[in-house]
Amino acid sequence: MATPAQVTLIGNTQAYLNVRAAVLQHFWLVETVALDTGEVPKCLGELVVVCASLPSEERQAWVERSRAEKAKVLIVRMDAYDAGPLAGAEFHGAYSWAAFFFRFSVHERGFFRPEEAIRRLTGVPAKILGLGNRGVLATGNYADIAVFDPACFGETTTTYEPNSLARGMRYVLVNGRLALDDGRLTAERAGRVVRRGGR
């Protein structure tokens, strides 16, 4: 897959988007869509990045439009983590983005087969960002592995309780160490900063 020439970055506020666009503009042509301004793009880029902090109904609408306009890659993303500046905060999207994307695009709308939805959540972002040895299960790659029940995998978050683990997620290994064991969080924190190239 060729690197997209144009990226449409969709989020809540222009200030939030400017920070993200400053990084992405080193690699692609970026158009930002700040929903608080009421702006609506006439057309979408080849790559659509929908910020997971958007309300569920707005995320669904952008997913559907992206599909209709045949965006080559759709990534629903988040940038929260439990040891950083958002530790202890109520952050919409931090616990629900991947579960929402899978449930909505596989079960609710039937946009993708399960394996394609997983590829778009893992291998596709890793390839676009140049993260070597990540994103696919292969000998020699880092052991970042999620084991879940695809029949029931979905978000459990609500507006008032956004920090809620996904339904159907059973095990998560980060760099080979269990972060989630039989649906329960462990004390392991094996994550690390990943630089371009995946090291």
C-alpha distances (whole Å) from 137 to each of 29, 64, 134 are 31, 29, 8
Nearest one of 71, 165, 159, 181 to 120, comparing CA atoms:
71
How many angstroms separate the CA atoms of 18 and 9, rounded?
Answer: 10
> pLDDT tens digit string along 71-82?
755 555 555 544
Which pLDDT tens digit goes with each residue over 94-145?
A: 677 788 889 888 998 888 899 999 998 888 888 877 888 888 999 999 888 9
